[in-house]
Amino acid sequence: MNRTLKTAILAVATMGFVAAPVFADKAAEKAIGARKAQMQLYAFNISHLGAMAKGEVDYDAAAASAAANNLAALAALNGMAMWPQGTDSTAMPGKTRAKVEAWTTWPKIGEASAAMKKASADLALVAGDGLDALRGGIGDVGKSCGGCHKPFRDEE
Protein backbone atom coordinates (compact mmCIF):
# COMPACT_ATOMS: atom_id res chain seq x y z
CA MET A 1 0.00 0.00 0.00
CA ASN A 2 1.14 3.52 -0.75
CA ARG A 3 2.68 5.03 2.37
CA THR A 4 0.69 8.25 2.28
CA LEU A 5 -2.56 6.32 1.99
CA LYS A 6 -1.51 4.10 4.91
CA THR A 7 -0.82 7.14 7.06
CA ALA A 8 -4.13 8.68 6.08
CA ILE A 9 -6.06 5.53 6.98
CA LEU A 10 -4.24 5.29 10.29
CA ALA A 11 -4.97 8.94 11.00
CA VAL A 12 -8.67 8.49 10.30
CA ALA A 13 -8.81 5.32 12.40
CA THR A 14 -7.09 7.03 15.33
CA MET A 15 -9.40 10.01 15.06
CA GLY A 16 -12.33 7.66 15.32
CA PHE A 17 -10.99 6.19 18.55
CA VAL A 18 -10.27 9.55 20.06
CA ALA A 19 -13.39 11.31 18.82
CA ALA A 20 -15.90 8.74 20.10
CA PRO A 21 -15.36 9.23 23.86
CA VAL A 22 -15.07 12.99 23.45
CA PHE A 23 -18.36 13.01 21.60
CA ALA A 24 -19.99 10.81 24.28
CA ASP A 25 -18.71 13.16 26.97
CA LYS A 26 -20.13 16.20 25.16
CA ALA A 27 -23.49 14.48 24.77
CA ALA A 28 -23.48 13.58 28.48
CA GLU A 29 -22.71 17.15 29.47
CA LYS A 30 -25.48 18.45 27.22
CA ALA A 31 -27.96 16.11 28.86
CA ILE A 32 -26.83 17.23 32.32
CA GLY A 33 -27.13 20.86 31.23
CA ALA A 34 -30.65 20.30 29.95
CA ARG A 35 -31.91 18.69 33.16
CA LYS A 36 -30.31 21.40 35.28
CA ALA A 37 -32.06 23.97 33.09
CA GLN A 38 -35.37 22.21 33.73
CA MET A 39 -34.66 22.33 37.48
CA GLN A 40 -33.83 26.04 37.27
CA LEU A 41 -37.18 26.64 35.60
CA TYR A 42 -38.90 24.69 38.38
CA ALA A 43 -37.12 26.84 40.95
CA PHE A 44 -37.92 30.10 39.15
CA ASN A 45 -41.62 29.33 38.92
CA ILE A 46 -42.09 27.91 42.39
CA SER A 47 -40.24 30.82 43.99
CA HIS A 48 -42.83 33.22 42.54
CA LEU A 49 -45.60 31.10 44.00
CA GLY A 50 -43.78 30.75 47.31
CA ALA A 51 -43.35 34.51 47.61
CA MET A 52 -47.10 34.99 47.12
CA ALA A 53 -47.98 32.19 49.52
CA LYS A 54 -45.78 33.76 52.21
CA GLY A 55 -47.24 37.21 51.57
CA GLU A 56 -43.89 38.64 50.46
CA VAL A 57 -45.53 39.81 47.24
CA ASP A 58 -49.21 40.49 46.60
CA TYR A 59 -51.27 37.58 45.38
CA ASP A 60 -52.08 37.90 41.69
CA ALA A 61 -54.42 35.29 40.27
CA ALA A 62 -53.13 35.50 36.70
CA ALA A 63 -49.48 35.35 37.75
CA ALA A 64 -50.13 32.47 40.16
CA SER A 65 -52.01 30.56 37.53
CA ALA A 66 -49.26 31.17 34.95
CA ALA A 67 -46.47 30.00 37.25
CA ALA A 68 -48.39 26.92 38.36
CA ASN A 69 -49.24 26.05 34.75
CA ASN A 70 -45.56 26.41 33.87
CA LEU A 71 -44.61 24.02 36.66
CA ALA A 72 -47.17 21.49 35.49
CA ALA A 73 -46.02 21.81 31.88
CA LEU A 74 -42.36 21.44 32.86
CA ALA A 75 -43.13 18.41 35.00
CA ALA A 76 -44.95 16.83 32.06
CA LEU A 77 -41.88 16.93 29.79
CA ASN A 78 -40.54 13.55 28.80
CA GLY A 79 -37.13 13.62 30.45
CA MET A 80 -35.73 10.27 29.37
CA ALA A 81 -33.04 11.73 27.09
CA MET A 82 -31.85 14.06 29.86
CA TRP A 83 -30.93 11.20 32.21
CA PRO A 84 -28.68 8.84 30.21
CA GLN A 85 -26.87 6.01 32.01
CA GLY A 86 -23.42 7.01 33.21
CA THR A 87 -24.27 10.65 33.94
CA ASP A 88 -24.23 10.27 37.74
CA SER A 89 -21.94 12.03 40.19
CA THR A 90 -19.87 8.88 40.78
CA ALA A 91 -19.05 8.58 37.09
CA MET A 92 -18.80 12.34 36.46
CA PRO A 93 -17.79 14.02 39.74
CA GLY A 94 -17.97 17.79 39.66
CA LYS A 95 -20.28 17.81 36.64
CA THR A 96 -23.51 16.69 38.23
CA ARG A 97 -25.12 16.15 41.62
CA ALA A 98 -27.35 13.31 40.43
CA LYS A 99 -26.67 10.30 42.64
CA VAL A 100 -25.99 6.96 41.01
CA GLU A 101 -28.99 5.64 43.02
CA ALA A 102 -31.23 7.41 40.53
CA TRP A 103 -30.25 4.66 38.10
CA THR A 104 -29.48 1.74 40.43
CA THR A 105 -32.86 1.96 42.18
CA TRP A 106 -34.85 2.64 39.01
CA PRO A 107 -37.87 3.06 38.78
CA LYS A 108 -37.93 4.78 42.19
CA ILE A 109 -36.96 8.15 40.71
CA GLY A 110 -39.84 7.75 38.27
CA GLU A 111 -42.21 7.55 41.24
CA ALA A 112 -40.72 10.75 42.69
CA SER A 113 -41.17 12.39 39.32
CA ALA A 114 -44.79 11.20 39.08
CA ALA A 115 -45.49 12.67 42.53
CA MET A 116 -44.28 16.07 41.35
CA LYS A 117 -46.26 15.78 38.15
CA LYS A 118 -49.43 15.13 40.13
CA ALA A 119 -48.84 17.82 42.76
CA SER A 120 -48.09 20.47 40.14
CA ALA A 121 -51.08 19.49 37.97
CA ASP A 122 -53.31 19.72 41.08
CA LEU A 123 -51.88 23.13 41.95
CA ALA A 124 -52.37 24.40 38.39
CA LEU A 125 -56.09 23.69 38.71
CA VAL A 126 -56.52 25.95 41.77
CA ALA A 127 -53.63 28.44 41.89
CA GLY A 128 -55.78 31.15 40.29
CA ASP A 129 -58.62 30.65 42.77
CA GLY A 130 -57.24 32.79 45.57
CA LEU A 131 -54.45 32.89 48.12
CA ASP A 132 -55.91 30.13 50.30
CA ALA A 133 -56.15 27.78 47.34
CA LEU A 134 -52.56 28.55 46.40
CA ARG A 135 -51.41 27.96 49.97
CA GLY A 136 -53.31 24.70 50.08
CA GLY A 137 -51.62 23.28 47.00
CA ILE A 138 -48.08 24.57 47.06
CA GLY A 139 -46.95 22.47 50.01
CA ASP A 140 -47.33 19.21 48.13
CA VAL A 141 -45.30 20.55 45.23
CA GLY A 142 -42.51 21.65 47.55
CA LYS A 143 -42.57 18.28 49.28
CA SER A 144 -42.29 16.55 45.93
CA CYS A 145 -39.09 18.47 45.12
CA GLY A 146 -37.55 17.41 48.42
CA GLY A 147 -38.92 13.89 48.00
CA CYS A 148 -36.64 13.46 45.02
CA HIS A 149 -33.67 15.57 46.10
CA LYS A 150 -33.20 13.73 49.38
CA PRO A 151 -32.58 10.29 47.88
CA PHE A 152 -31.25 11.28 44.46
CA ARG A 153 -29.29 14.52 44.71
CA ASP A 154 -25.93 15.06 46.38
CA GLU A 155 -25.57 17.79 48.98
CA GLU A 156 -23.80 20.87 47.65
- Binding region for ligand HEC (CB under 6 A): 32, 35-36, 39-40, 42-43, 46, 96-98, 102, 109, 112-113, 116, 141, 144-145, 148-149, 152-153
As measured in angstroms, the least distance from the Cβ of 63 to ligand HEC is: 17
As measured in angstroms, the least distance from the Cβ of 21 to ligand HEC is: 20
As measured in angstroms, the least distance from the Cβ of 89 to ligand HEC is: 7
Comparing C-alpha atoms, which of 95, 75, 94 is closest to residue 31?
A: 95
**How many other C-beta atoms lie within 10 A of the C-beta of residue 127?**
30
Angstrom distances, CA of residue 67 to CA of 25, 45, 103: 34, 5, 30
| Nearby residues of 50 by Cβ (< 8 Å), 6 or more positions away | 138, 142
Closest CB to ligand HEC among residues 6, 110 = 110
Closest CB to ligand HEC among residues 64, 112 = 112
Comparing C-alpha atoms, which of 12, 43, 30, 49 is closest to residue 95?
A: 30
Closest CB to ligand HEC among residues 40, 105 = 40
